[in-house]
Structure 1
Amino acid sequence: MRKTSLLFSLITCLSFSQNKQILYGFSEIPQSLLQNPGGLVKNDWYFGLPLLSHIHASGGSSGISIYDLFAKDEQDFNIKLQKAVNKLKPNDFFTLNQQLEIFSGGFAIGPSYNKNKYLSFGLYQETDFIAYFPKDVAILALEGNANNINKPFQLNHINFSGEVLSVFHLGYNKKVNRNFTYGVRGKIYSSIVNVNSTKNRGSFITTNGENNFYSHIFNLDFELRTSGLNSITEDNSEFSAKDVIKRTLLGGNLGLGFDVGFTYNLTKQWTVDASLLDVGFVRHNKDIKNYEIDDVYNFEGINPLFPETSNGQTAEDYWNEVGEAFKDLFEADSTTTKYTTWRPIKLNASLNYAFGKKKYKDCKCLKEDSGYQNAVGMQLYTINRPKQPQVALTAYYYRRLFNGLSAKATYTIDSYSFNNVGLGVSAYLGPLNFYVMADNFLQYKNIYNTQSVSLQLGFNYIFNKNEN
């Protein structure tokens, strides 16, 4: 049983990342404004196909891959499991992120000769989960405590948080002049479900006992906070799809946030841009149920060692007594205290160099208004997390292949790997825009041995698209 629980923890190392390095700065795609509200805009107005305009899912592991556990070789599985536990560290993280855009749109405003302002809006659903590897708990589950007498197992390794929420947003983008563009985006969060346990402390230690063979000492300061979950899990729950829709449409626990960003042309070919995303919070005051344990417990087992059959006690009565004693030992306090969670702030910044003007076919003259056909650059990404920020560095090459077709290739170094190669393509068929993006292509020959995979795709109707 304990190996099954440990195996489940390791399998959850398949994780999801919020970094969208291919989409960032890909200005032909309207959704790039969600990565930088101050990015360049290349359309007069657009609307996304409902539920299809942006679908994002990605996965990865900062420590191991599925192949490390389930590779078809001659090595015993228990040995693989032991190696995986020894390899992983308490700061290795297992995360999940998924986004689905429900609707979106945008349009330019201003006088017909100078539409230098742009409004964008939409609603998307997001799932975000992170859990750090509970190193000491995993060792205890794998080895037990018999060979670890007097060794303290740290319980602060238990650290996780997760949320399902919807986000209403309204963005404003202004091109101040040829060199400078800035943007802001306001957000209203509606949390559907939240679970978090990030401030745990304490230890478990086994020593030689006085009244029994061993004494088990639990020094616990543990807290689990939840909102929106109790009404789903409680007995005879009538929670339905209507309740999900209600919480999605501002009926959940509400919060506020904002994004801000800019783009600045240092020269005609050099550009710097940056954005700060999800600076905000959610106040949880509905459907709250929290659990707290803050005490020191000493457990030496149940005496007598065998049922008192002479007094009419059966084996079932004995084991029920053991179970009740252990349950009473860790009786958690349940509260409905309101609490606030902060969104994971994300920072993007990049330096870009554009080159390669397009030429006319019948001469060697340059098309001055066509823009550059190529760009290279470096992008930095970081996201704030409970233990420490996660950082990624990306180098990219962008190419306008021909009118209506552009591509971007990336090479990323992050917590998952040092050889993440990605590719994104944006194509037009009349006003219909389709884009698809994926990364870690080098690992697709053995997908089970990869530590990160990502996929983004979407459909938009884009009107009066600028060609320059």
Structure 2
Amino acid sequence: MKKYLGFILYLACVIGFSQNKQILYGFSEIPQSLLQNPGGKVDNNWYFGIPLFSHIHANAGASGVSTYDLFADDGVDFNSKLESIVYDLKPNDFFTINQQHEIFSGGFAYGPSYNKNEYISFGLYQELDAIVYFPKDYAVLVYEGNQNNINRPFSLDHLNGVAELISVLHVGYNKKVNERFTFGVRGKIYSSIINLRSLNNNGTFITKPGDNNVYDHIFDLDLSLETSGLVNLTEKTDFEPNDLTKQILLGGNLGLGVDLGFTHQIDKQWYLDGSLLDIGFIRHSKNIESYELKGDYIFEGINPFFPEVGSGQTADEYWTEIEEEFEDLFTIDTVKTKYTTLRPIKLNASINYAFGEKLDKECDCTSEDSEYLNRVGLQLYAIKRPRLPQVALTAYYYRRLFNGLNIKATYTLDSYSFSNIGLGMSAQLGGLNFYIMADNFLEYNNIYDAQSVSLQLGFNYIFN
């Protein structure tokens, strides 16, 4: 049983992801930065993303544990490492997944020829998002067993998690009101492909000395799992890839959402910006199936615990009898009730200072190009999660090396690490733009010891 628990923890360490895009935020040379702040600065007249290659994003992490903690070749016994993880992790520790893949995107400025101060952007992307909290009491029960925990109640509310696969069709509007203020709004249509949700679970499990047998196993259960889109994919006998394509193209459970953002230029060098993303919901009414296990149960075990010699009962028959006892004891109700899920709202806010005007070498004076070469700032990020919000604080330095090449370095404090250093680059050759970003560089000498690793890249054609 300990080996199975270790394997589960290993998978959790490998697949954990997060949603923060601190390097992309505010990187106005990259059109996809408008997805982080629809009211951000716009640095192009029009663009289109190279289909399927304009934005690819994934970042991995897990709070409180890494793969190296469990599998390091450091002479420490595996069981000792597993024991440390089981007892050190808390119910609020989590493993999250977030991945995005942009299918197509584009944008264009419009308005008077001398002052194109309005901008429309649009696109379609696919997103996978999930969070699972560490089931502390479940893990302790699996690791220790119940024989050494007589009369100890194990809390079943530690089981919490949500997961969803969606597509998002969006259109954004950006308006530069004047030299000091810009605002933006983005409307979204969500199409949920798969949704799994198990929240607000309650109950206890306790083992006590029994009257009719050695132990009584007492369950007080209020557990549930809501699903949509899963039945269609797993039970449909004539399922084809086109069925999945239809769900991506607004054929799934639909919802609506909005993003809001702004940029305020305080003076020539200081500016403030912020955004609220994914203020919305999804209504699940198609291919829904939920499972509920509620009630009080007492399992007294099989009498006798093991078949007597010569009784004629085989081991297979014995375990089959136990299985049938559990099936008779627990009744899982299957219901098809419609439900609504709220999107995880995200907050971005930053204060920024630009400096270092470009000089003309011939006259040793300020260039007509009024853009500053350097920028520093602080960015706050937060996302609403079922138990507690996830929060990150980032300090950054931006440098425009020359026309067509820009870099950004970040230092982030978050739930995973206090030493997350990231780097991003945007390069443009003619109209072709390429960008790549990654973080947690200090852990690259031992990637298995990193609690989060992020990668973003993409190609666009931009006309400035």
Q: What residue number does 1:46 align with?
A: 47
Match for residue 426 of structure 2? 426
- Deviations 1:240-264 (Å, cap 9, x if unpaired)? 2111100000000000000000000
- Give the equivalent residue in structure 2 for 1:352: 352
Q: Distance in 1 between matches of 2:422 and 2:309?
A: 69
Mapped partners of 1:88, 1:160: distance in 2: 16
3-state SS of paired residue (1:82): helix
- Whether the aligned pair in 2 keeps the contact of 1:377 and 1:396 (CA below 8 Å) is yes
- Code of the residue aligned with 2:423 in structure 1: it is L
**Quick one: structure 1 residues 200 and 107, their matched pair in 2 at CA, closer, same or farther if it must change by over 3 Å?**
same
Q: Which residue is equivalent to 1:275?
A: 275
RMSD value over aligned CA atoms? 1.4
Residue 370 (str. 1) matches residue 370 (str. 2): yes
Gap runs ≥5 in structure 1: none
Contact 2:5 2:143 in 1 (8 A): no
Aligned counterparts, 1:150-169, within 5 A: 150-169=151-170
The number of residues matched between the two structures is 463
Render the CA deviation track for 1:94-150: whole Å, top value 9, x for unaligned: 000000000000000111111100000000000001000000000111111111111
Q: Provide the residue aligned with 1:304 in structure 2.
A: 304
* 1:384 corresponds to: 384
Secondary structure at 2:360's aligned position in 1?
coil
TM-score, structure 1 normalization: 0.97
User: Could you tell me how far 1:232 is from its partner in structure 2?
Assistant: 2.0
* Letter aligned with residue 160 of structure 1: G
Deviations 1:168-214 (A, max 9, x none): 00000000000100000000000000001011001111111111111
Matched residues in 2 for 1:369 and 1:123: separation?
Answer: 35
**Residue 53 of structure 1: CA displacement?**
0.2
Counterpart residue number, 1:292: 292
Normalized against structure 2, the TM-score is what? Answer: 0.97
Q: Distance in 1 between matches of 2:185 and 2:90?
A: 38
> 1:194 — aligned with what?
195
Matches within 5 A, 1:216-235: 216-234=217-235
* Separation (CA, whole Å) in 2 of partners of 1:110 and 1:383: 35
Instruction: Supply the distance in 2 between the matched residues of 1:131 and 1:401 (Cα, whole angstroms).
Output: 42
List alignment gaps of at least 5 residues for structure 2.
none
Q: Residue in 1 aligned with 2:173?
A: 172
Whole-angstrom CA distance in 1 between matches of 2:123 and 2:29: 18
What's the offset of the Cα at 1:11? Answer: 3.0
Aligned-partner Cα distance in 1 for 2:262–2:300: 63
Instruction: State the AA in 1 paired with 2:296.
Output: V
Q: Indicate the larger mover: 345-354 or 317-326.
A: 317-326
C-alpha distance in structure 2 between counterparts of 1:314 and 1:448, whole Å:
46
SS of the residue 1:217 aligns to:
strand
Q: Could you tell me how far apart the structure 2 residues matched to 1:147 and 1:298 are?
A: 19
SS of 2:320 mapped into structure 1 = helix
Q: Is residue 308–residue 314 contact of structure 1 (8 Å, CA) maintained in 2?
A: no
Secondary structure of the structure 2 residue equivalent to 1:12: helix
Matched, 1:56 2:57: yes
User: Retained in 2: the 8 A contact 1:231–1:237?
Assistant: no
- Work out the CA distance in 1 between the residues paired with 2:67 and 2:21: 23
- Of residues 394-403 and 294-303 in structure 1, the stretch that sits farther from structure 2 once superposed is 294-303
Question: 1:78-157 maps to which residues of 2 (within 5 A)?
Answer: 78-157=79-158
Distance between the aligned counterparts of 1:182 and 1:316, measured in 2?
A: 69
Q: Which piece of structure 1 moves more, 66-75 or 180-189? A: 66-75
Q: Residue type matched to 2:239 in 1?
A: F
SS of residue paired to 2:359: coil
Instruction: Report SS of the residue matched to 2:286.
Output: coil
Q: Label 1:316 to 1:449 Cα distance change in 2 as closer, same or farther (>3 A).
A: closer
- Rounded to whole Å, the distance in 2 between the matches of 1:6 and 1:200 is 24
What is the CA–CA distance in structure 1 between the aligned matches of 2:93 and 2:5, rounded to whole Å? 18
**Cα distance, 1:415–1:80 mapped onto 2, change above 3 Å:** same
Letter in 2 for 1:443: E
Q: Which moved more, 1:369-378 or 1:385-394?
A: 369-378
Identity %: 67
Q: Per the alignment, in what secondary structure is the counterpart of residue 13 of structure 1?
A: helix
Of stretches 1-10 and 375-384 in structure 1, the one that deviates more from structure 2 is 1-10
Match of residue 407 from structure 2: 407
Q: Quick one: distance in 2 between partners of 1:283 and 1:239?
A: 23
Question: Which amino acid is the alignment partner of residue 131 of structure 1?
Answer: V
1:248 alignment partner AA: I
Deviation for aligned residue 1:306:
4.3
- Structure 1 stretch displaced more, 307-316 or 255-264: 307-316
Pair 1:207 & 2:208 matched: yes
Whether the aligned pair in 1 keeps the contact of 2:284 and 2:338 (CA below 8 Å) is: yes
